[in-house]
C-alpha cells in the first residue's frame, strides 16, 4: 500500500490544490494532505491551522483514501512517522519549480521519501492562495477558484475583519 504526502500551508485550499490531490489519489493508494505551520508565512495567515484543516477536509470529503492532517514540525519527520513512500508537490510554473527543487533535495537529505512533481492543470495554473485572498479582499468573485465552502469562509473572515495579511492604509 503506497502513501504520499502532499504538504502545504493551504491558506486557503484552492481548486488547484484539490486537483493535485485527486490526481495523486490515482497514483498512490493513500494520500495525506499535510497542512503545515510555516513560521515564515505566519504574519500572512488569514485562517488558523484548525480552520485550514477543516476547509481542506470539507473540500476533500468525497475522497475516501485521502486524509487531512497537521504537519507539526519537519516534513521529513512527519513522512517517516506516517510511513510515507512519496511527497507530492504541484507546480504551476518555473518559479514554483525553482522554489521546490531545493526543498525536495533537503527533504531527501533529511530522510524524507522522493518528491514527485505534478504539473498544474491548465485551468488552475494561474491560481494561488495569495491571489485568491487578494481577489476576495477586493470584493472579487472567487467561486471559480476555490471550493464552495472556502468561498463562504473567505467572505466571513473578511467581513469579520480577520484579514491579517494586509495592514490597513494609514492616513497621511
Give me the sign of the Cα torsion angle 141, 143, 149, 150. negative
Q: What pLDDT is attached to residue 21?
A: 98
Task: Please give the Cα distance from 37 to 41 (Å, whole number).
Answer: 8
Q: What pLDDT is attached to residue 107?
A: 97
**Active-site pick, 57, 80, 82, 92:** 92
Q: How many CB atoms lie within 10 A of CB 65?
A: 12
Cut 0.85: pTM above it: yes
Task: Please give the Cα distance from 56 to 17 (Å, whole number).
Answer: 9
Q: What pLDDT is attached to residue 1?
A: 93
DSSP assignment letter at 125: T
Per residue in 134-171, pLDDT tens? 999 999 999 999 999 999 999 999 988 765 443 333 33
Task: Mean pLDDT check: name the lowest of 16-30, 36-50, 82-96, 141-155.
Answer: 36-50
**Active-site pick, 22, 23, 41, 57:** 41
Q: What pLDDT is attached to residue 172?
A: 31
**Active-site pick, 30, 45, 52, 129:** 129
Task: Please give the Cα distance from 7 to 36 (Å, whole number).
Answer: 7
Helix (H, G, I), strand (E, B) or coil at 127: coil
Helix (H, G, I), strand (E, B) or coil at 164: coil
Task: Please give the Cα distance from 32 to 68 (Å, whole number).
Answer: 6
Which domain covers residue 93, as residue numbers? 3-159
Q: Does residue 106 belong to any structural domain of this protein?
A: yes
Q: What pLDDT is attached to residue 43?
A: 58
Number of domains in the chain: 1
Q: Does residue 169 belong to any structural domain of this protein?
A: no
Per residue in 59-98, pLDDT tens? 999 999 999 999 999 999 999 999 999 999 999 999 999 9
Q: Does residue 9 belong to any structural domain of this protein?
A: yes
Does the annotation count 92 as an active-site position?
yes
Q: How many CB atoms lie within 10 A of CB 48?
A: 12
Q: Does residue 23 belong to any structural domain of this protein?
A: yes
Q: Does residue 166 belong to any structural domain of this protein?
A: no
CATH code, domain carrying 90: 3.40.50.620
The overall average pLDDT reported for the chain is 91
Task: Please give the Cα distance from 121 to 15 (Å, whole number).
Answer: 10
Amino acid at each position: 500500500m503506497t502513501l504520499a504526502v502532499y504538504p502545504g500551508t493551504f491558506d486557503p485550499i484552492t481548486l488547484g490544490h484539490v486537483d493535485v490531490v485527486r490526481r495523486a489519489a490515482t497514483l498512490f493508494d493513500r494520500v495525506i494532505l499535510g497542512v503545515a505551520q510555516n513560521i515564515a508565512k505566519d504574519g500572512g495567515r488569514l485562517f488558523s491551522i484548525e480552520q485550514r484543516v477543516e476547509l481542506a477536509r470539507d473540500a476533500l470529503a468525497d475522497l475516501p483514501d485521502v486524509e487531512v492532517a497537521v504537519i507539526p514540525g519537519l516534513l521529513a519527520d512527519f513522512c517517516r512517522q506516517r510511513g510515507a513512500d512519496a511527497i507530492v508537490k504541484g507546480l504551476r510554473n518555473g518559479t514554483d519549480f525553482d522554489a521546490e527543487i531545493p526543498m525536495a533535495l533537503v527533504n531527501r537529505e533529511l530522510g524524507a521519501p522522493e518528491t514527485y512533481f505534478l504539473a498544474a492543470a491548465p485551468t488552475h495554473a494561474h491560481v494561488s492562495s495569495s491571489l485568491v485572498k487578494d481577489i476576495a479582499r477586493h470584493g472579487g468573485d472567487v467561486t471559480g477558484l476555490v471550493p464552495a465552502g472556502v468561498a463562504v469562509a473567505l467572505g466571513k473572515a473578511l467581513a469579520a475583519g480577520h484579514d491579517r495579511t494586509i495592514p490597513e492604509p494609514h492616513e497621511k
